[in-house]
Chain A
Amino acid sequence: MARQNYQEKLDSLESDVLYMSEVVVDRLRTALTALENKDDDAAWEVIDGDSEINSLYLDIEQQCVDLLALQQPVAGDLRFIAASFKIITDLERIGDLATNLGEYTLDARHDVYPEVDVQSIGDKTVSMVEEAMEAYAAQDTDACFEINESDDELDAMCEHASQSVVRELIENEIDDGTDVETVLEEVSRLLLTVRDLERIGDHAVNIAARTLYMVENDDELIY
């Protein structure tokens, strides 16, 4: 094949993006486990591991810049590099949001509202990120649209969770002996947790949208 070195660089870029996604998904799972078990060690593992994700991001970003500058890619190759460039930004942000979850774990001493099923929401986001990256690897455009639809379900789950928290706040009077500031911190932390998980879902949709553009030059999901 002509331009073998160039093709090897494209293959390497794809491998590295997929590796970065594996690291990010692993961190996200660890963060959810830490949150569920109040596991400070696991939380620190996620927080300390963010620098690795940032390094991967910078390395892959440089690969993209080098390919653009030195190889002048066009057509499908150009769309692949442009999509990968955008996707690693989403992965890096997912890593940041996983770090947030780790920090919430360190601050949280107990579940303020155990009936809010954070783990189900978390599992949904993990699945969406995994499916988005599988779509990228397999160039599966049908899966891109399915992920977009999954986000509607995730948004509904997050909205339901947030409304539950607000309803609890309104309906349950705070005992005289309860520290109001502490309750406010715990409720805020829970709402932030839900919000961050919802944002991870948005990043999964971004990945699917860029994948659809990459494969079919279709920007329907980019908004």
Chain B
Amino acid sequence: MSQENMSNDNVESPTEDPTDDDMLLETDVTSGLEEGTQGSRTTHERTIVEAKDVNVWYNQDQALRDITMQVPENKVTAMIGPSGCGKSTFLRCINRMNDMIDAARVEGELYLGEKNVYDDDVDPVALRRRVGMVFQKPNPFPKSIYDNVAYGLNIQDIGGDHDAIVEESLKRAALWDEVKDQLDESGLDLSGGQQQRLCIARAIAPDPEVILMDEPASALDPVATSKIEDLIDELAEDYTVIIVTHNMQQAARISDKTAVFLTGGELVEFGDTKKIFENPDNERVEDYITGKFG
């Protein structure tokens, strides 16, 4: 699949009209509170990311097999599964991070709103403005706290009042009160948990629609983990969060939907988190989440 000479003309900017219904595939408008939603989040489910028969290979090794799923908007969707099952690979397909791996080959369709992100006319950089990402290890740049948050605004040439955006992003990342008097100090001087919240602030500054998180709390202590989990719950009021985690209890605590990938790159079950953890349909899923294999 060629990724050269792409323009971002056909990638709709979320800042123009992020609530435009036409951008989203309406799928399940009848889903009720009892259907596994958490907190006070909307019960109105609309699909924002949709995979249709997505297959991924690394050279000759198939990492994902015929993944078809619909990720609802403004929900937390967790992806769990044993190491090597392909869950992180799928995550990286959504913002085309796999483009950076020469050996990776992606087939199938993967929609953000109504646009297949693998269409030739999609600019991956513009795509990543709509799909932010937070990684396992906090990775602030060796810059000031302010510049870390404003980084995406500058490189993507996003206008507006940067001071206000930085402050709002740090507030949304629940970090503002801790750093408001030291914005010029290095982001590297923060604690691990603060660094990860700084990375989340950096990810949300360009106002993405989707935030991808690849084990965002696995390197943090329980207190910092708890703050990240609370933050994820709050972020889901404004963003769609897709999180890969090895911690099944974390998936159970924070997500509305859970996708279970098993060895071989297969999506074995996808549904309401409550259903997955109380009464999964698939026996292999039951065995995995109860620890009987994997």
The CA of A217 and the CA of B281, in the complex, are separated in Å by 11
- Contact code string B236-277 (vs A, CB < 8 Å = 1, else 0): 000000000000110010000000000000000000000001
A-B pairs, top 10 by smallest CB distance, nearest first, are A217-B279, A3-B291, A74-B277, A77-B290, A75-B286, A74-B289, A72-B249, A2-B291, A75-B290, A2-B293
> Contacts A74-B248, A74-B252 known; A79 to B292 CB distance under 8 Å?
no
The CA of A133 and the CA of B279, in the complex, are separated in Å by 23
Interface residues of B in 216-252 (CB under 8 A from A): 248-249, 252
- Shortest CB-to-CB span from B269 to chain A, Å, is 11
- Shortest CB-to-CB span from A36 to chain B, Å, is 45
Can you list 10 residue pairs at the A/B interface with Cβ under 8 Å? A3-B290, A6-B291, A74-B289, A75-B279, A75-B286, A76-B290, A77-B290, A78-B277, A78-B278, A217-B279
Which residues of chain B are within 8 angstroms of A3 by Cβ–Cβ distance?
Answer: 290-292
Nearest A residue to B294, CB-CB: A2
The CA of A7 and the CA of B291, in the complex, are separated in Å by 10
List 11 additional contacts besides A7-B292, A72-B249, A75-B279; criterion CB under 8 Å.
A1-B293, A2-B294, A6-B291, A74-B252, A74-B277, A74-B289, A74-B290, A75-B280, A77-B290, A217-B278, A217-B279
Interface residues of A in 1-24 (CB under 8 A from B): 1-3, 6-7
Which residues of chain B are within 8 angstroms of A78 by Cβ–Cβ distance?
Answer: 277-278
Question: Hey, which bits of chain A sit against chain B, CB under 8 A?
Answer: 1-3, 6-7, 72-79, 217
Residue among A73, A76, A78, A79 with most chain B CB within 10 A: A76
Which residues of chain A are within 8 angstroms of B286 by Cβ–Cβ distance?
Answer: 75-76
- Shortest CB-to-CB span from B270 to chain A, Å, is 16
Asked if A2 and B292 make an inter-chain contact with CB atoms under 8 angstroms apart, the answer reads yes
Nearest A residue to B285, CB-CB: A75
Which residues of chain A are within 8 angstroms of B278 by Cβ–Cβ distance?
Answer: 74-75, 78-79, 217
- Shortest CB-to-CB span from A34 to chain B, Å, is 44
Which residues of chain B are within 8 angstroms of A77 by Cβ–Cβ distance?
Answer: 290
The CA of A98 and the CA of B283, in the complex, are separated in Å by 41
Nearest A residue to B252, CB-CB: A74
- Shortest CB-to-CB span from A67 to chain B, Å, is 12
The CA of A3 and the CA of B287, in the complex, are separated in Å by 11
The CA of A35 and the CA of B233, in the complex, are separated in Å by 61
Per a CB cutoff under 8 Å, which of B280, B290, B293, B294 touches A73?
B290
